[in-house]
Chains A and B, each alone.
Chain A
Amino acid sequence: MNPVLAVVAPLSVGFLVPLVHIFKKRHTGMSVIISAGICSVVSAVVALSGWDGVAVTMGGWTPELGISLMVDRLSGAFLLLAATGFPISLACSMESFGYSPWRFYVLFFLSWGAVNGIILTGDLFNMFVFFEIFSVAAYLMVSYPPRSWQAVEASFKYLIFGTVGAMFLLLGIAYSFMATGQLNLGILSQMMASVPPVTLSVIGGCLVVGLFVKSGTAPTHFWLPDAHSSAQTSVSALLSGVLVKVSVYALIRLSFLLFFPVMREVFSVILFLGTLSVILGHLMAFQQEDIKRLLAYSTVAQIGTILIGVGCASSFGVSAAVYHCFNHMTAKMGLFLVAGALAEDRASRDISHMSGLWAHRPLFVAAFALFAVSLAGIPPFSGFMSKWLLLLASTKEGHIVPALAIVAGTVVSSAYYLKVLRAFFSPSETPVPHRRPRPVSGRLVALLSVLCVLLAAAPFIPGASSVLFSVGDSAVDGASYRDVVLGK
């Protein structure tokens, strides 16, 4: 299937929703659900059909002149991640908001299309354009509903940081265009060797810093805890589960294509800031009293863990990082869904008010425990598997400090998750105020738990593990990327 459909389908749905709302108001909900299903299937089909590398160029031009879209294993994996995360978040928002905020769903589909665009594009400037769509949609989704001032403030902070990050990205793109006159990633990766070192370092620095800001790596993560904690449950889940991973994807793609052969120091930077994120994120999460803020800081730490895998600059490291992306998505989305539901029931996000919830919703709490244990890295759950692979990857390259940081993070994160679980299990004097039935959230949480357990088994299935490692190979192998894009 043509990869462009994975981008155009969600965008077109975004354009269609207002028309459906105006002319057939009754059918808005149904059409949103159906089109989400279609978009998800289209993305999955694009990912699978392009598993061995497919590239198309818009408008029938040569890759040099037009804009190329490219699917390989790395982008396929992230497409699948988005195709899983978006429908889950959509179902949750449908349950909590109903069908009336149709503009929210417009933003939702536009950001989906933009995410697919970032993942698929083979053109540096096009990636920036999609970053803009996705960022604008994300700022606005954070501020929904506009009544709560925390959400608006968080959204404003996110806007400022996102814009500064985007400026750095744009500077990097401008410098690389100035030096080479090209925007196609495949061609750029060939021409990077001929760029003067000083310019190359400016390109590398700007691109990497811009993506750090977008992905919320410490110490440029200040927007992330506010945005992820003030947003609505489904949006938080989406932000933590999918949207930050897209920036990580862009980081993997750009750093390996452009700088892998010519400037290895970029990976030292990634490794260093990844380690810093792990430490800072876990320490900050440890001190939070607000459950969603705690989860948001834990996202900072997990992004750091993923970046450690990227910073190893090896195929194995990238595979482990991608695997951890999937684990983090399932577990963190589940955690946010459960935490959001329970916080709404308790009408408070303060952990000390969270008592008595085990009696109130035992299955939700049990699922929370599963996700928390998995993310903390307790064997034999999925988080442990990916952290073990990351440990192997970083020690194979001789980096022992990041490995120790990951391990220390396990101890600290088990401490803070235990704090939350303790609050859940402790008996409460006051009854839980209200209980709204949540059939959809319940099913989503069950689905995510099943996924979490299945992911833990993935490395033991011979086929699955070889697929996983081939993802890393495709990320590192710039030559085959060029071959596919340039149609050799």
Chain B
Amino acid sequence: MSFNPDVLSLVMVFLAIFMTFCSSLYGGRRTLPRLVAPCAFCLCACLASIADDWLLFIVFLELSSIALVFMVGEKDRDTARYYLYTQLAGGGILLVATALGSVRGFSIPMGPVPEGVFPLFVLGLGVKAALPGLHFWLPKTHSQAPAEASALLSGYAVKMGIYGLFRIVLSSSTVLMSLGALMAIWGAVMGPFQSDAKRLLAYSTLSQLGFMVAAISTGTELGRIAALAHLISHALAKGLLFFSAGGLEKIWGTRDLALTGPTFRSHRWMFFAFLIGALSMAGLPLSPGAWSKGLIKLSLEGHDLILLALTLSGVGTSLSLCKMGYYGFLKPFYGAEKRSIPGVVPLCSGFSMALMCLAILSLGALPPFRPVGSSLSSVLPAMVGLSLFVLIPVPFRPLSRPKDVEDMVPCLGDLFSRFVSSVRKLHSGNLVAYLFTLVTVAFVVLNFLQNAMKTLRR
């Protein structure tokens, strides 16, 4: 058990520190106890990303999730618990997978895992990275958490799952690639129909995670670089977008896009910050998003269906960002729905957002990765999205939200509690029934042993 940082780990460490710094700055003046959770998160996340074996990685991953639970819980306890249980379950599956994989010794070194436990690892990391079907926790958590926690969640915590995938996927995997494409499409389809600003961003996160998964599962060096690049650019852009969504919430007291109004008039700077994030996300040239999306598409040369899916999801991303921009910042109030004085965004939040903008702009101007011609390729879907939004605005009005996997969770919870209460009925307090059970157990055990011994004798 030791720590062994390589380039990938160092990038993650740097990102963790930067994101934590920005989000703590965004949160404003804090008392000392409220600084503990972000610091603990940052420390654990850094240790997790430089860990040299899977056990250590999982332990610190869990600890960082628990630190994040405290940040989420500042606003909404129920969501925090929901997040905690899903993360513990995911971590538990990873632990079982690690235990299964470690034939001797206590753990397996960080890196590719044995063939047999690969699906279990994907399952466990899938909970963390919100693979399709396992993403039930993501929209709810991201939307209910405070803005700084959402930024950390979307900007860093889910990326730890991606980081894990980086370590186990070294060869091309069609299944994983199609899962990534499905994720991208799913997020892009669900996003534009949300009425909650942060939910909308959460689905966009889902779709961008799909890009990364698809790129990683090519198994090529280019794919890995592309995914890493997208990881960074998405973390910065999505952090900024969540910050501005948090600003909206502070100003209007709600995240519902139907109730927000012309923020542009009172907070012009915030709109520009939003614009920078949105454009980077949509892949405008000279932004980090453009470089990284271009790299991803380059790495997926030859997989036409996947490329098509990613292009389509680009349309969805652009649509949802347009929706947030219009309803959140530009839409004027009509008649009776005029609201009184808007709230204010604290100065420190502004500083934090400015810092993020600076990072995005400098990264866009001086990309550390090889600039490629195809960085223009994501402009087309973005433009299509914009024109769609302008031409057919009706379906995108913020009215309701469509159903998703997470709406099955209460049903499952119902089933679970029904099962649990049937277990409870066994404990009726009836001594005769208890003794009956005891004799039955003795009978079954005896029967089993005698049969087993009989087969042994033959």
A and B touch in the complex (CB under 8 A): yes
How far, in Å, is B126 (CB) from chain A's closest CB? Answer: 16
Q: Mark A353-389, 1 if CB is under 8 A from B, else 0.
A: 0000000000000000000000000111000100010
- Per-residue contact bits, chain B 433-445, to A (CB 8 Å; 1 contact, 0 not): 0110110011001
Neighbour of A202 across the interface among B59, B435, B446, CB < 8 A: B446
Task: Please tell me if the beta carbons of B99 and A392 are within 8 angstroms of each other in the complex.
Answer: yes
Tell yes or no: B392 within 8 A of A by CB: no
Determine the chain B residues whose CB is within 8 A of the CB of A394 once the complex forms.
Answer: 99
Q: Pick the residue among B93, B424, B441, B450 that contacts A407 (CB under 8 A).
A: B93
Q: How far is the CB of A371 from chain B (nearest CB, A)?
A: 17
Q: Which residue of B lies closest to A269 (CB)?
A: B445
Secondary structure at chain B's binding surface: helix, strand, loop or mixed? helix
Residues of A within 8 A of B85 (CB): 411, 414-415
Chain A residue contacts of B308, Cβ below 8 A: none
Q: Is A477 an interface residue (CB 8 A)?
A: no
Give how many A-B residue pairs fall within 8 Å (CB-CB): 127
Q: Chain A contact residues (Cβ within 8 angstroms of B): what range?
A: 35 or more
Q: How far is the CA of A340 from the CA of B282 in the complex (A)?
A: 59
Give min CB distance, B148 to chain A, whole Å: 23
Cβ-defined contact, B435 with A197, below 8 A? no
Contact B92 A410 (CB under 8 A): yes
Does A251 have its Cβ within 8 Å of any Cβ on chain B? Answer: no
Looking at the complex, which one of A220, A263, A283, A407 makes contact with B438 (CB distance below 8 Å)?
Answer: A220
Beta-carbon contact of A205 and B81 below 8 Å: no
Check B168 for interface membership: any CB of A closer than 8 A: no
The reply to whether A418 and B431 contact each other, CB–CB distance below 8 Å, is no
Per-position 1/0 for A214-229, Cβ under 8 A of B: 0000011011010000
A197, B92: Cβ atoms closer than 8 Å: no
Known A160-B431, A168-B442, A280-B423; judge A415-B99 contact (CB<8 A): no
A152-185 interface mask toward B, CB cutoff 8 Å, 1 = contact, 0 = none?
Answer: 0000010011001000100000000000000000
Q: How far, in whole Å, are A24 and B435 apart by their CA atoms in the complex?
A: 46
Residue B106 lies at the interface, judged by CB distance under 8 Å to chain A: yes
The CA-CA distance from A277 to B165 in the complex, in Å, is 35
A208 to B446, CA, bound (A): 10
Q: Which of B414-431 contact A (CB under 8 A)?
A: 420-421, 423-424, 426-427, 431
Could you tell me the distance between the alpha carbons of A288 and B99 in the complex, rounded to whole angstroms?
32
Instruction: Tell whether, in the assembled complex, residue B453 and residue A284 are in contact, meaning their CB atoms are under 8 Å apart.
Output: no
Q: Which of B180-239 contact A (CB under 8 A)?
A: none
Those of A374-424 within 8 Å (CB) of chain B: 378-380, 384, 388, 391-392, 394-396, 400, 403-404, 407-408, 410-411, 414-415, 418, 422
Tell yes or no: A198 within 8 A of B by CB: yes
> Which residues does chain A contribute within 8 Å of B446, judged by CB atoms?
201-202, 205-206, 209
Task: Write out the residue numbers on chain B whose beta carbons fall within 8 Å of the beta carbon of A287.
Answer: 420-421, 424
Residues of A within 8 A of B453 (CB): 197-198, 200-201, 263, 265
Is the C-beta of A286 less than 8 angstroms from some C-beta in chain B?
A: yes
Q: Are B449 and A204 in contact (CB under 8 A)?
A: yes
C-alpha spacing A405/B57, complex, angstroms: 22
Which residues of A pack against B, CB within 8 Å? 157, 160-161, 164, 168, 197-198, 200-202, 204-206, 208-209, 212-213, 219-220, 222-223, 225, 263, 265-266, 269, 273, 280, 283-284, 286-287, 378-380, 384, 388, 391-392, 394-396, 400, 403-404, 407-408, 410-411, 414-415, 418, 422
Q: A219-B437, A388-B95, A418-B84 are in contact. List 13 more A-B contacts (CB 8 A).
A: A205-B442, A205-B449, A206-B442, A206-B446, A209-B445, A265-B448, A269-B449, A280-B423, A379-B63, A391-B99, A400-B100, A408-B92, A411-B85
Q: List 11 A-B contacts (CB under 8 A).
A: A197-B456, A198-B453, A205-B445, A205-B446, A209-B441, A225-B427, A273-B441, A391-B95, A407-B89, A411-B88, A411-B92
